[in-house]
Amino acid sequence: MSVSFLENLEKIEPYVGGMPIQELSRKIGIPEDQIIKLASNENPYGISKKVYKAISEYEEYFLYPDGSGFDLINKISEVFNLKPNQIVLGNGSNDILELCARVVANHESEIIFSEHAFAVYGLVTKAVGAKEIIIPALDFHHDLDGFFKAITKKTKLIFIANPNNPTGTLINQQKLFEFIQKVPSNILVVIDEAYEEYLEAHLKSNVFLWLEEFENIIVSRSFSKAYGLAALRVGFGVGSLKTVSKINQIRQPFNVNSLAQIAAIESLNDLKFVEDSAIKNNEQKKILEENFNNLNLSFIKSYGNFISFSLGSPSTALRCYEYLLNKGIILRPISNYGMPDFLRVSIGTEEENKIFIEKLTEFIGNIK
């Protein structure tokens, strides 16, 4: 006899992130410092100097972290004008997404999300044994009317990414509000705002203000993108007292390490770094868009720190990806998101983007 594993695990393909710099260096022999990674939507400007100073001075590695995350939760509360008991910490925002599924869904449940949505939604749905209800996108946008029509008595959870990854599309706040008004109050709606910091002021989310009206929503935020803390794995969720308390019942003890907590606090003490990163990102995004237009490459207008652009066919997209890899540039193929003609490029520094466009132009010239 052998160990009997859960049947739903047979349906799960592990999440595959952007290729690490070290892996490409091993494959093609280019030194790591000559490789440009534009694959994982990281902040190319690194971390705040305040963060670097704080973690450099940390010495208490022999002690367990504060499992309650008291100081970080209170800092989040202060910065975003929230109550501490509305906040739960995660080992990255992915942790929050999984915990939300675990507290409401099982093998008898249905979970709704969009086509071309973040891969983790499908992973956590399968992990809890629930059924995926994938709503076809409308020109790469969420079809909220389609979401509503798909709701049944078995629906326990709805995932909405705003902005969405990998398309970069954004849902109008009024449309989102009207949708949530219609959703039955026994269904948990997770609003994933990992790229919120990159939005211009007039597009910023006001979902935190809706928490008093809707007890069935939870907002997921990340420190991995604009804050630059991807390696430390820290994020947070904001919801009703009941939802947060249920998540805390099953949340792993010490799920956010001490360095991550300190770094997140100092990141929130230096919001100018975050704002400056977003400004530079949006400036460089416009330059990339101009270059895509000059190369006659179609792309999806993005509100994040990345752009998905089309090469016209799956084979050309794969050839382009491999060509750039051999030039030391890592992009993200997104065929697993139902977009085989596309590649996703994270927006880098001015110098990184220049090199990327130069090599992309070479590739386009070679296939004409």
Exposure string over 66-87, b if 16+ CB within 10 A, otherwise e: eeebeebbebbbeeeebeeebb
Number of C-alpha atoms within 13 angstroms, CB side, residue 65?
20
**Residue 248, pLDDT score:** 95
The tens digit of pLDDT for each residue in 131-149 reads 999 999 999 999 999 999 9
Residue 280 within a domain: yes
Domain boundary among 224, 253, 269: 269
Domain co-membership, 179 together with 86: yes
Domain co-membership, 90 together with 208: yes
Domain co-membership, 291 together with 223: no
Domain co-membership, 216 together with 307: no
Rounded to whole angstroms, the Cα distance separating 48 from 277 reads 10
Residue 3 within a domain: no
Average pLDDT on 269-275 reads 97
Domain that includes residue 30, residue range? 16-46+272-367
Rounded to whole angstroms, the Cα distance separating 103 from 149 reads 24
Rounded to whole angstroms, the Cα distance separating 320 from 101 reads 37
**Residue 217, pLDDT score:** 97
Q: Is the pLDDT of residue 4 over 90?
A: no
Domain co-membership, 59 together with 173: yes
As given in the structure block, the two tokens for residue 222 are 């990340």
**Residue 93, pLDDT score:** 93
**Farthest-apart Cα atoms in the chain, separation:** 62
Domain co-membership, 290 together with 264: no
**Residue 14, pLDDT score:** 78
Residue 9 within a domain: no
Domain co-membership, 77 together with 98: yes
pTM: 0.94
Domain co-membership, 25 together with 144: no
Residue 239 within a domain: yes
Q: Is the pLDDT of residue 268 over 80?
A: yes
Total domain count for the chain?
Answer: 2
Q: What percent of the chain has pLDDT over 70?
A: 100
**Residue 365, pLDDT score:** 86
Average pLDDT on 148-171 reads 97
Residue 8 within a domain: no
pLDDT level of residue 368 (50, 70, 90 thresholds): low
Q: Is the pLDDT of residue 241 over 80?
A: yes
Residue 88 within a domain: yes
Domain co-membership, 242 together with 285: no
Domain co-membership, 245 together with 104: yes
Q: Three-state DSSP class for 257?
A: coil
Domain boundary among 223, 250, 269: 269
As given in the structure block, the two tokens for residue 42 are 């990281």
Q: Is the pLDDT of residue 12 over 90?
A: no
Please list, in sequence order, all residues whose beta carbon lies within 8 angstroms of the beta carbon of residue 32, skipping any fewer than 6 positions away.
Answer: 21, 22, 25
The tens digit of pLDDT for each residue in 170-210 reads 999 999 999 999 999 999 999 999 999 999 999 999 999 99
Write the CATH number for 29: 3.90.1150.10
**Residue 5, pLDDT score:** 78
- Check the CA dihedral 47-201-83-79 and report its sign: positive
Domain boundary among 234, 254, 269: 269
Domain co-membership, 32 together with 61: no
Rounded to whole angstroms, the Cα distance separating 240 from 248 reads 12
Write the CATH number for 60: 3.40.640.10
Sheet containing 131-135: order of strands: 87-90, 235-239, 217-222, 188-192, 155-161, 110-114, 131-135
Give the mean pLDDT of the chain: 95
Domain co-membership, 36 together with 56: no
